[in-house]
Amino acid sequence: MLNGQKMWLTNGGSSTLVAVLCRTDEGQPEGAAPHKSMTTFLIEKTPGFGLNETVPGLTIPGKIEKMGYKGVDTTEMILEDVRIPADRVLGGVSGRGFYQMMDGVEVGRVNVAARGCGVAQRAFELGIRYAQQRSTFGKKIAEHQAIQFKLSEMATKVEAAHQMMVMAARKKDSGQRNDLEAGMAKYLASEYCKEVVEDSFRIHGGYGFSKEYEIERLYREAPMLLIGEGTAEIQKMIIGRRLLEDYRLAD
């Protein structure tokens, strides 16, 4: 029987299948590493929200109201004594859940990095267009060196993040472990995305604050990328541990 609560399910309401990582008894000795006692269960459910259980014991209370990322629903999930058939274990073997999820997270981090590149690229395009339309002090603002410097920094960040994201994706595609590269790409692309969006917002002056301009929406989209698939602090922990593995001094 499955019991527990999980916040932040992307498509939690509209989905028909949920992969749930659970602690399971794998006969490990007391004090053994917890990641060896985790299993991914697949729960089939009907789409929907509200207090009506979508399968006996499973409740999706409702959509979480968010500042951005509105194209998908995001929910909580409550499991109370949920029974599922014994064969609904991902991969058919229990105790492999942690490794399965980490494999997925490596792809997910490249995915978030790619989204960061897309949002940053669009913010840059909006900024360089607006800078050639708006005039102050008798010239286009793109002719002010302060604005040109911003545009230069923005374009450099977009290009650097893109290169790192593609490198991490290629490594995964080739079947190699890419946790270091995925962590670096996710960290860099999401931080640069936030900075490029902020600079584009500043270039727009007061209009950046108006919902009539697309940059207002991008300003609300960028923060999610700092958090999803692990925060900057978590990426830096992963990067740091991997670096110490790769550069360990000989005993």
Ligand X SMILES: Cc1cc2nc3c(=O)[nH]c(=O)nc-3n(C[C@H](O)[C@H](O)[C@H](O)COP(=O)(O)OP(=O)(O)OC[C@H]3O[C@@H](n4cnc5c(N)ncnc54)[C@H](O)[C@@H]3O)c2cc1C
Annotated catalytic residues are 229
Token digits of residue 206 = 């007061």
Give the C-alpha separation, 113 to 191, whole Å. Answer: 10
DSSP string, 81-130: EE---TT-BGGG-TT-HHHHHHHHHHHHHHHHHHHHHHHHHHHHHHHHHH
**Binding status of residue 116 toward ligand X by CB under 6 A:** no
The residue (of 99 and 207) whose beta carbon lies closer to ligand X is 99
Token digits of residue 45 = 């459910």
Binding residue for ligand X (CB under 6 A) from 49, 69, 99, 207? 69
The stretch near ligand X (CB under 6 A) out of 3-11, 80-88, 152-160, 213-221 is 3-11
List beta partners, residue 63: 75
**Binding status of residue 5 toward ligand X by CB under 6 A:** no
Q: Does residue 34 sit in helix, strand or coil?
A: helix
**Binding status of residue 209 toward ligand X by CB under 6 A:** no
**Binding status of residue 227 toward ligand X by CB under 6 A:** yes
Residue 39, phi then psi, degrees to nearest 5: -135, 145
The residue (of 13 and 127) whose beta carbon lies closer to ligand X is 13
The residue (of 162 and 186) whose beta carbon lies closer to ligand X is 186
Left, alpha or beta for 151 (phi > 0: left; psi -120 to 50: alpha)?
alpha
- Please report how close the Cβ of residue 69 comes to ligand X at its closest, in angstroms: 5
Total of chain residues touching ligand X, rule CB under 6 A: 14
Residues sharing a CB contact under 8 Å with residue 239, sequence separation 6 or more, in sequence order? 180, 183, 184, 187
**Binding status of residue 8 toward ligand X by CB under 6 A:** yes
The stretch near ligand X (CB under 6 A) out of 6-14, 43-51, 210-218, 241-249 is 6-14
Give the C-alpha separation, 195 to 154, whole Å. Answer: 8
The residue (of 38 and 224) whose beta carbon lies closer to ligand X is 224
**Binding status of residue 183 toward ligand X by CB under 6 A:** no
Q: Does residue 38 sit in helix, strand or coil?
A: strand
**Binding status of residue 241 toward ligand X by CB under 6 A:** no
The residue (of 37 and 40) whose beta carbon lies closer to ligand X is 40
The stretch near ligand X (CB under 6 A) out of 38-46, 92-100, 158-166, 231-239 is 231-239
Residue 57, phi then psi, degrees to nearest 5: 90, -10
**Binding status of residue 16 toward ligand X by CB under 6 A:** no
Radius of gyration (Cα) for the chain, nearest Å?
Answer: 22
The residue (of 199 and 221) whose beta carbon lies closer to ligand X is 221
- Please report how close the Cβ of residue 70 comes to ligand X at its closest, in angstroms: 10
Q: Where along the sequence are the contacts to ligand X (CB under 6 A)?
A: 8-10, 66, 69, 74, 224, 227-231, 233-234
